[in-house]
Amino acid sequence: MPRYPKPCTFDDCTNDAAFSTNTKPAWCVNHILQIVNNCGFTAMEVFPGKPSIDWLMRCNDCGISAHYRLNYIIDKVKYEKPCRACYWLKWNRDQARLLGGHLPEWLPDVVPSSISLEERRNPKDLAEAMGYEFLGACFQDTYTPYLVKCRTCAKVSAQRIGDIGWGCQCRVNSKRQTASPREPEATEVESPFIDPNNERLPRISQELLSQFVPEKNPKIDIIKLSPTSVRRVVWTDPNCGHEWIDTPANRNKRFRIRCPQCQSILDSFGYHYPELASEWAPTNPTSPWHVRPTGATRGFIPNWICPQAGHVWSSPTASRIAGALCPECAIHGKSRIELRFFDEAAKLWPSSKSGPSSRNPQFQYGVNWRPDIEVLVDDDTKLVIEYDGSFWHKDKAKIDKLKSLDFLNAGYHVIRLREYPLFMLDIDHIKFMQIVVRPEHQPGEIIRAIASWVTSRDTA
């Protein structure tokens, strides 16, 4: 659904808000930058579109750049300094003064047992072991916090050494009930650990069970092994062949890693949905074995390769699980006249796509639009053709306008074929054209006229 623009809640401001909410205040970009400055920061990137998304900011006092959410700094500034570098420096100094000049060593129990004591005391070694890129100390001070960057979500943050030991929140893999066709099938396959009378079954999960090798654990009874056991077990991943030693209890903590060398996770999308994972595009920044089935992929929308025609398209993992298929291969929702125009466009421009999923950071009113026809005319020219039938679009002028504005903001040429007697949209733009279409008009002639218009716009 499109996001209808909401006015900025600042008095006497006539601009549209940069994001939409139901009950909370929303502001235009200029006033958002003013709020950020009042909180003690300078924005280092354009506003990400939502107040709940991490945004790179530089502290006006210490000069340290890190990611913060707009909602976070507005809430924090009411009772403490929102910059974490400044806050943790002061906090460490206050704690050291109360404790006689030194800070006690502390790390959470989620730190992998493979990390030595010396590595835990070294902030650089600890950060790299916990999935961070170590950027250095924030200050030349004994009690300084450290600046780290998550390798998974690229979030930059200022943290104490104890907080670094927790790892980034984006890697937390909570154990949950996942709707999956995989688990019921696992009990049907022949396994040496399953009693044929179903009287004694293993207590650990089927995924951990697949990594347990009896020959390498001769003294361990898999039937009695508890998921919270602290016994050291030799595990072997059947996918990559890597072998390591760890306890079942550690394997079910926080990150729930499937293989420590590959950094794949338990209950991953690849494990629960192998057929969908086979369509995962290799251009994605991570593999389906590193993504949770019901969790959002941070920083990107996965690309998929259509097994029938090889189309590359994007869709969230939750949509794929819900049944989303290749939009270009889909016929549902496309009228005959739309398909006739697409056939004519494909003759002239072989790169034409019918109903592709389109996402762009310049979109203001919608996250994901699906144009009727999308064409890459050349390296510098992108074209969208929309066919507006008189029956289905008689009450959709507002949505049609917002959709057109989004594509125009993203640099597209936009053509709207308005079937008579629809009214023309109120849009004035050099890359926008509307054509009244009647039943007697030929799609081929209209497409050739559009091609001439696009050429004239490019040479103007």
CATH number at 418 reads 3.40.1350.10
Adjacency order of strands within the sheet including 381-388: 353-354, 373-378, 381-388, 413-419, 432-437
pLDDT at 185 over 50: no
Q: 312 in a domain, yes or no?
A: yes
**Residues 155 and 179 reside in one and the same domain:** no
Residues 428 and 382 occupy one common structural domain: yes
Examine the fold and report which residue of 289, 321, 353 is the final residue of a domain before the chain moves on.
321
Q: Above 50 in pLDDT, residue 189?
A: no
| Average pLDDT, integer, range 151-180 | 78
Q: What percentage of the chain reaches a pLDDT higher than 90?
A: 37
Cross-strand pairs, 188? none
Please tell me the distance from the alpha carbon of residue 177 to that of residue 244, in angstroms, as a whole number.
Answer: 27
Q: Give, in degrees to the nearest 5, the angle at Cα 176 between 367 and 157.
A: 60
Contacts 24+ apart (CB under 8 A), 234-240: 235/208, 235/211, 236/211, 237/211, 237/262, 237/264, 238/210, 238/211, 239/264, 239/289, 240/264
Does the pTM exceed 0.95?
Answer: no
CB-CB contact of 321 with 273 (8 Å): yes
Q: Is residue 199 part of a domain?
A: yes
- Average pLDDT over every residue of 333-338: 80
Q: Tell whether 113 and 187 lie within a shared domain.
A: no
Q: Does one domain contain both 295 and 260? A: no
pLDDT at 335 (0 to 100): 82
Would 79 be classed as within a structural domain?
Answer: no
DSSP 52: T
Average pLDDT of the segment spanning 126-136: 89
Angle (CA) 153-148-33 rounded to 5° is 70
Cβ atoms of residues 345 and 417 within 8 Å: no
Q: Are residues 421 and 374 in the same domain?
A: yes
- Count Cβ atoms within 10 A of the Cβ of residue 199 and give its class: 0-12 exposed, 13-18 middle, 19 or more buried: exposed
Last residue of a domain, one of 171, 203, 226: 171
Decide if 11 is inside a domain: no
Same domain? 195 vs 253: yes
User: Is the Cβ–Cβ distance between 155 and 67 less than 8 Å?
Assistant: yes
Q: Does 59 fall in a domain? A: no
The total domain count for the chain is 4
* Per-residue exposure over 11-24, b if at least 16 CB sit within 10 Å of its own CB, e if not: eeeeebbbbeeeee
Report pLDDT for 188: 38
Same domain? 382 vs 435: yes
Structural tokens at position 189: 């396959």
Q: Per-residue DSSP letters for 396-432?
A: -HHHHHHHHHHHHHTT-EEEEEEETTPPPP----TTE
DSSP labels for 103-128? ------TTS-TTS-HHHHHSHHHHHH
User: Is the same domain home to 354 and 443?
Assistant: yes
Please state, in angstroms and rounded to a whole number, the distance separating the CA atoms of residues 295 and 321.
Answer: 12
Which pairing describes strands 353-354 and 233-236: parallel, antiparallel, or unpaired? unpaired
Per-residue model confidence (pLDDT) at position 117:
63
Residues 113 and 156 in one domain: yes
Q: Taking 50 as the threshold, does the pLDDT of residue 311 lie above it?
A: yes
Confidence (pLDDT) at 184: 39
pLDDT at 379: 80
d(CA 375, CA 352): 5
d(CA 190, CA 1): 47
Query: Could you tell me if residue 74 is inside a domain?
Result: no
What pLDDT was estimated at residue 298? 67
Residues 357, 455 share a domain: yes
Averaged pLDDT, 64-84: 94
- The tens digit of pLDDT for each residue in 194-211 reads 555 555 678 888 889 999
Residue 315 and residue 249 share a domain: no
Give the number of other CB atoms < 10 A from CB of residue 115.
16
Q: Which residues pair with 246 in a beta bridge?
A: 233
Quickly tell me which residue has 């943790």 as its tokens.
88
User: So what's the pLDDT on residue 39?
Assistant: 94
Residue 377: inside a domain, yes or no?
yes
Q: Verify that 201 and 249 share a domain, yes or no.
A: yes
Task: Give tens-digit pLDDT for 11-20.
Answer: 888 888 888 8
Pairwise CA distance, residues 373 & 387, whole Å: 9
Q: Determine the structural domain holding residue 348 and report its residue range.
A: 336-459
3 state DSSP class of 96? helix
Which among 247, 267, 287 is the end of a domain?
267
